[in-house]
Amino acid sequence: MEVSFAKEIQKLKLGDGDKFEGEGILAVTKALLQSGVTYVGGYQGSPISHLIDVMVQAAPEMADLGVYVEACTNEASAAAMLGASVMYPARGAVAWKSIVGTNVAADALSNLASPGVMGGALIVLGEDYGEGSSVIQERSHAYAMKSTLWLMDPRPNLPTIVNMVERSFELSEASNTPVMMELRIRACHVQGTFETKDNVAAKVSMKEVLAEPAPHEYERLAHPPVTFGHERKKSGERMQAARGFIAEHELNEVFAGQQRDVGLIVQGGLYNSLMRALNELGLADAEGNSDIPIYVLNVVYPLVPDEILEFASDKRAVLVLEEGQPEYIEQEIGTILRRAGSDAVLAGKDVLPMAGEYKAEVIAEGLGRFLRRHLPQVGNRLEDAAYADEVAVLKAQAADLLKAPVPPRPPNFCTGCPERPFFAALKLTQQEIGPVHYSADIGCHAFATFAPFNFGNSILGYGMSLASNASVASFQEKRPLAVMGDGGFWHNGLLSGVTSRLLNGGDGVLVIMKNGYTSATGTQEVISSPDKDLRLASAEKSATHGETTIEDALKGVGVKWLRTVHTYKVSKMRDTLLDAFKTPFGGLKVIVAEGECQLERQRRIKPIRAKALKNGERVVRQRFGVDEDTCTGDHSCMRLSGCPTLTIKPAADPLKTDPVAYVDNGCVGCGLCGELAHAATLCPSFWRADIVSNPNLLDRLGNWARRTFTGWAGA
């Protein structure tokens, strides 16, 4: 089964005056219920997956409040859900991973922002920016500006985050505008506490249904000619209403400091890193009291000119700390200051990096440059070599403790992942036909871009692999190959890839990884996920997949060349791939590579196996290993599979100078090593053993007979 969020669901039931303890994104989830939402939806992705996962698993509890919960098929469908707030006084919230998710949702967002909303509408964005990001490096800020959507960026502590969620709905309704809230990965996973309130049942909900639909109001449609009026409202009355609400309710915060000649303006999400940097520089204490005044932008768009001018009025210089590029906030603040005739010097990207994550160390370096220029009585102290020497000593101590540089650890497939054998089969295929153009996609299968497979010529977006090589077949002799997961197939690939290729009569090979879930985002279900009863039926069955939803969809749109092959059958997969590349059939060829996600399989079978063992039932599990005497030490098996449990150890035979292959205890018994040895005609060094717990009489007799026979043979 999927990961259980039973403990998290219980926290959603906390009432007035109770104490919530947990991480940021779960605090957001609780805050939504305290705000009286009518509906919640979204598409999963780090770092906001927990919000959707918890809500989906808590659907029965949500129904008691009348809250409708939907796990959307992509970000565009999630954004479109907010259309319910255009004509009805219904509060709604959706979530997705930006910036890639916001790209997908852009069309719906534009058409939502134009007429505006009646009920509060909140979009929670998992901002994943910096070296640890799993997506392209772009900011959500641009979408807020171009569509005139308000953008929150709360300080990363739970009381502030919860307050900003609740205020976001009020701001949305006060200005008839959807609100976006960006939460960096540090904010989503920050730990803390806050005092909870009672959950609020919405006045319009599944329990409080309306007898009649809203009347037709053409002015509330995103359609010409009223869109021209919408544009004036967005930059006029809605903007003014938003700025008035932000100022009246003090959504932005000012923290006074002793050094009034300079000031810091910071995005709320960077506040914790800024305070850490100030503390390291001796300019703030452990309680967060800063020597330098700080203006915290919990709302980064729109800015409130009067607040900025008041903050800068008595200062010679102001530093804007804004993560990423372009420097939207710095440019707007510069415009505000210059138009008002302020002579305060504005600093920002001139002393801080244009791109990259603003960690405490990065901020400290930029602060030092700023203060040496504009507050020399403080900045000159920072020029003292003592601080740099202290950092150098700490780095030297860390290096000494490590003894050696940390070895690189590129992302890899899970142990027993059903996608690894497919790529092994593809390597065997290319040994015969040579390299082919490979269009990669978003998902677990993108790990094949790393060693030992090193596949991939492009990654253009989720479910876009087939579309991305549409023109490649026209100027290459070999057919191009595209790979996507079942999550990407339903997210975008069926329409933008498969139907487009069929419409244009294009050639090519598509492989769909049918592992049963959107695995890379936390193994959420898709429409083609295996039936729950089937998944729980037996510890010995694979559970993937009695259903043929993907195959039926492919046939329904007109795919003529279609094969379904289990990924662990390496020889058959190789032969099917060769057939796809060599067949005289000129249209699209689709291979459905079937194999249940190993994480889900282990979650499914472990409790069943544990229960059987506890009840004294017979349980058999397979274990694989390598015969050390047979292994030649050439390690070709590793170059084909890359399994993390297939490693090396020194040979016991002193005549063998090379280490031999070895299967460690992390093995889950998928059998790929043996399949590869057979398919690639490798040395017969792999063995399989059946480990029987609670053996019956036949098992014991068989074991006695084998031991007796091998004893005689040895003698």
**Which contiguous run of DSSP H or E holds residue 97?**
strand 92-98
Find the helix packing angle between 305-312 and 239-248, rounded to 10°: 50
Long-range contacts (CB closer than 8 Å, 24 or more residues apart) made by 273-277 = 273/186, 273/358, 273/359, 273/360, 273/363, 274/321, 274/360, 274/363, 276/360, 276/363, 277/360, 277/361, 277/363, 277/364, 277/367
* Mean pLDDT (whole number) for 572-595: 96
| pLDDT in the model for residue 621 | 85
Asked if residue 623 lies in contact with residue 689, where contact means CB atoms within 8 angstroms, the answer is yes
pLDDT at 334 exceeding the cut of 70: yes
Distance CA 607, CA 693 (A): 15
Whether the pTM exceeds 0.85: the reply is: yes
Q: What is the pLDDT of residues 338-353, one digit of tens each?
A: 999 999 999 999 999 9
Ranges of CATH 3.30.70 domains, the chain: 618-714
| pLDDT in the model for residue 566 | 94
Distance CA 572, CA 595 (A): 14
The model's confidence at residue 472, banded by pLDDT at 50, 70 and 90, is very high
Distance CA 29, CA 54 (A): 8
Architecture of domain 618-714: 2-Layer Sandwich (3.30)
Q: How far apart are the first and last CA of the chain?
A: 50
Distance CA 549, CA 362 (A): 50
- Please state whether the peptide bond connecting residue 411 to the residue before it is cis, i.e. omega within 30 degrees of 0: no
Query: Positive or negative CA dihedral for 706, 712, 713, 715?
Result: positive
How many of the other CB atoms lie within 10 Å of CB of 699? Answer: 15
Pick one of 1.20.1050.140, 3.30.1330.40, 3.40.1030.10, 3.40.50.970 as the CATH number of 419-601: 3.40.50.970
Q: Regarding predicted confidence, which is higher, 677 or 475?
A: 475
According to CATH, what is the number of the domain 253-402?
A: 3.40.50.920
Distance CA 306, CA 647 (A): 64
Distance CA 567, CA 570 (A): 6
Hey, is 345 helix, strand or coil? strand
Asked if residue 161 lies in contact with residue 27, where contact means CB atoms within 8 angstroms, the answer is yes
Ranges of CATH 3.40.50.970 domains, the chain: 6-248, 419-601
Asked if residue 37 lies in contact with residue 7, where contact means CB atoms within 8 angstroms, the answer is no
Minimal CA–CA distance to 177: which of 251, 90, 239, 96?
239
pLDDT at 134 exceeding the cut of 80: no
Task: Look at the block and give the residue holding tokens 């989503």.
Answer: 188
Q: What is the pLDDT of residues 402-432, one digit of tens each?
A: 777 777 777 789 888 999 999 999 999 999 9
Q: What is the pLDDT of residues 182-236, one digit of tens each?
A: 999 889 999 999 999 999 999 999 998 999 898 988 888 888 898 888 989 998 9
| pLDDT in the model for residue 713 | 62
According to CATH, what is the number of the domain 6-248?
A: 3.40.50.970
* Mean pLDDT (whole number) for 250-275: 95
The model's confidence at residue 545, banded by pLDDT at 50, 70 and 90, is very low
| pLDDT in the model for residue 3 | 62
Ranges of CATH 3.40.50.920 domains, the chain: 253-402
Distance CA 175, CA 145 (A): 16
Beta-carbon-side half-sphere exposure of residue 404 (alpha carbons within 13 Å): 2
Minimal CA–CA distance to 476: which of 506, 442, 503, 441?
506
pLDDT at 535 exceeding the cut of 70: no
The model's confidence at residue 645, banded by pLDDT at 50, 70 and 90, is confident
